[in-house]
């Protein structure tokens, strides 16, 4: 009898050990995977979701990954997408590579098929730089969420358009388009996740996509792309959006090029790089580093950018939203109070003389130029700094988010859509090193990317040394985000109630030493941009 009890105890103990063990082995469509343990979670690093886009696959749509033989050791992050590198990596550090189409999965699941909600992180970097593993999603996974982070081609390898590439595409697919390879990578990764995430304990019907900066702009574009329909049920956009009109050229952040305009830009870019006369087959043989040296294409704000091709990305998202033609999911979207300071630098790097040049180039129409001069004066060093910073904030981040929130919430209120809109505004950071030494009474201090420490629970970055206020706010913000990922609604528990966004009401959650509701900040500026963008839609720039 005692032996039977002992045997039962051993069996039960073994069962408990197995049931509490991490899911360190699983099987996807391509074969068996083995991950590694990290703080009680299973981490699968560097899983291929497409074939390497190298050689003849440079500037091609991603192809499905090939099956592997045996067990794939998913224990190491892969290199960053090929990008400008300021220095060679130290021993043991990751470098850059065109062979970059990999994703990482961090899961709390104990077995496949648990049906957990899924968060997919899309990194930023101006569509020029970045990597999937730069943010730590551990706290999301500890909250019962399967966390995946994806990589995509950037800069010339992700977004170069050329007439020759468009002609090649026309022969192979019937679509005379080029560029948007990086967006197609993102969609391919989401398709792979949809087909395989249950192997990591996730539910393919409970996917939320999330990004910051270019990652947030990507999130907005995925909400607009017909190719991404059905691949996610929720979207979180931190400092991003995409509502600008199509144009032949890209002026700052005021428009996106059509295919023809992108082809002309691509040819000019190659000419500056000394490769303008090379044939496509020879361009595909060039060392990737040869594409990295152009200061114009790699300047602040990025010039190698997605293209309105009416296939991956439709020409006028503003009109599409007016018509109710978009991926209708719940969204949690917003921006920061001092986004543009990062792109302006320290006081004195942007002068009144540069302000004059920017006004003439960005707003060539004299009537609109005068309106923007009045809204954003720039006669002194401080005024010029603030003008450049605020114009960048509105054009790149705040106005596209504002327009997105207004259009989707209006559709849902009128029964033309179902997706709920929750809008936020970060104004918490007390330290912005770009504004050190400035004589200003401004209270708008959260710089671009300054909220990431709060949303990922990784404090001590751009915002300076964390304090109890930072830590308390981070817990609050993360719980809102976790609730949204799990249910499509940020509300729950002890949190202050966050209503759905409605224009001209106190429905924007303002994060500063806590969370409280306000109307939309900077509304006069946003309304000026709203009017200007309406005008821009009917006034395209001639293509030279």
What tens digit of pLDDT does each residue of 177-212 get? 999 999 999 999 999 999 999 999 999 999 999 999
Please give the residue that has the higher pLDDT: either 76 or 21.
76
Domain 1-212+259-306 has CATH 1.10.357.10: no
pLDDT at 90: 57
Span(s) in the chain for CATH 3.40.50.1820: 1-212+259-306, 232-239+344-536
pLDDT at 378: 97
In this model, does residue 269 exceed pLDDT 60? yes
Q: pLDDT of 6-57, one tens digit each? A: 434 333 333 333 345 799 999 999 999 999 999 999 999 999 999 999 999 9
pLDDT at 7: 39
* Least trusted range by pLDDT, from 7-21, 390-404, 513-527: 7-21
pLDDT at 15: 33
- CA dist., res. 237 & res. 389, Å (int): 20
Per-residue burial over 243-268, b = 16 or more CB atoms within 10 Å of its CB, e = otherwise? bbbbbbbbeebbbbbbbebbbbbbee
- CA dist., res. 470 & res. 51, Å (int): 42
In this model, does residue 483 exceed pLDDT 50? yes
Average pLDDT, the chain: 92
Domain 232-239+344-536 has CATH 3.90.1150.10: no
Nearest CA to 387 among 356, 428, 365?
Answer: 356
Nearest CA to 517 among 490, 483, 486?
Answer: 490
At residue 292 the predicted structure's pLDDT band, cuts being 50, 70 and 90, is very high
- CA dist., res. 377 & res. 217, Å (int): 28
pLDDT at 14: 36
Tally of CA atoms within 13 A in the half-sphere of 217 that contains its CB: 25
200 CB-contact burial (10 Å; exposed 0-12 / middle 13-18 / buried 19+): buried
Provide the whole-model pTM.
Answer: 0.94
CB 140 within 8 A of CB 119: yes
Arithmetic mean of pLDDT, 518-541: 96
Arithmetic mean of pLDDT, 520-526: 97
Arithmetic mean of pLDDT, 312-330: 96
């Amino acid at each position: 009898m005692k032996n039977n009890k002992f045997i039962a105890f051993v069996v039960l103990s073994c069962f408990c050990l197995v049931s509490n063990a991490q899911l360190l082995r699983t099987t996807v469509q391509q074969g068996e995977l083995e991950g590694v343990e990290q703080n009680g979670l299973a981490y699968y690093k560097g899983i291929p979701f497409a074939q390497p886009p190298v050689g003849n696959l440079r500037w091609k749509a991603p192809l499905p990954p090939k099956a592997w033989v045996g067990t794939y050791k998913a224990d190491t992050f892969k290199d960053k997408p090929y990008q400008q590198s300021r220095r060679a990596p130290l021993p043991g550090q990751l470098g850059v590579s065109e062979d970059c189409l990999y994703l990482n999965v961090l899961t709390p699941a104990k077995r496949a098929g648990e049906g957990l909600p899924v968060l997919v992180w899309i990194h930023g970097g101006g569509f020029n730089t970045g990597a999937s593993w730069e943010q730590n999603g551990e706290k999301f996974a500890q909250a019962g969420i399967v966390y995946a982070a994806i990589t995509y081609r950037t800069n010339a390898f992700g977004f170069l358009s050329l007439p020759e590439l468009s002609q090649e595409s026309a022969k192979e697919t019937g679509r005379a388009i080029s560029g948007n390879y990086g967006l197609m990578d993102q969609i391919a990764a989401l398709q792979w996740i949809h087909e395989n995430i249950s192997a990591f304990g996730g539910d393919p019907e409970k996917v939320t996509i999330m990004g910051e900066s270019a990652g947030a702009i990507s999130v907005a574009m995925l909400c607009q792309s017909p190719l991404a329909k059905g691949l996610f049920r929720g979207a979180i956009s931190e400092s991003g959006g995409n509502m600008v009109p199509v144009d032949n050229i890209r002026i700052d952040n005021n428009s996106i090029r059509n295919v023809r305009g992108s082809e002309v830009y691509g040819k000019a870019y190659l000419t500056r790089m000394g490769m303008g006369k090379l044939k496509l087959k020879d361009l595909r043989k060039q060392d990737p580093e040869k594409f990295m040296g152009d200061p114009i294409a790699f300047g602040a704000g990025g010039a190698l950018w997605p293209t309105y091709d009416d296939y991956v990305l439709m020409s006028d998202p503003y009109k599409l939203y007016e018509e109710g033609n978009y991926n209708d999911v719940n969204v949690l979207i917003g921006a920061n109070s001092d986004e543009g300071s990062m792109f302006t630098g320290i006081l004195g790097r942007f002068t009144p003389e540069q302000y004059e040049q920017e006004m003439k180039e960005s707003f060539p129409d004299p009537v609109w130029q005068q309106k923007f001069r009045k809204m954003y004066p720039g006669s002194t060093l401080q005024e010029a700094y603030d003008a450049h910073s605020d114009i960048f904030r509105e054009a790149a981040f705040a106005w596209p988010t504002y327009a997105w929130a207004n259009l989707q919430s209006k559709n849902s209120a009128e029964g033309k859509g179902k997706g709920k809109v929750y809008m936020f505004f970060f104004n918490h950071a007390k330290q912005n090193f770009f504004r050190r030494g400035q004589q200003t009474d401004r209270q708008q201090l959260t710089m671009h990317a300054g909220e990431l420490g709060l949303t990922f629970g990784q404090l001590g970055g751009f915002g300076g040394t964390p304090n109890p206020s930072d830590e308390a706010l981070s817990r609050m913000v993360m719980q809102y985000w976790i609730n949204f990922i799990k249910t499509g609604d940020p509300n729950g528990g002890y949190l202050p109630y966050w209503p759905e966004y409605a224009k001209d009401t106190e429905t924007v959650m303002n994060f500063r030493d806590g969370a409280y509701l306000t109307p939309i900040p900077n509304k006069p500026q946003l309304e000026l941009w709203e009017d200007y963008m309406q005008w821009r839609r009917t006034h395209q720039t001639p293509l030279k």
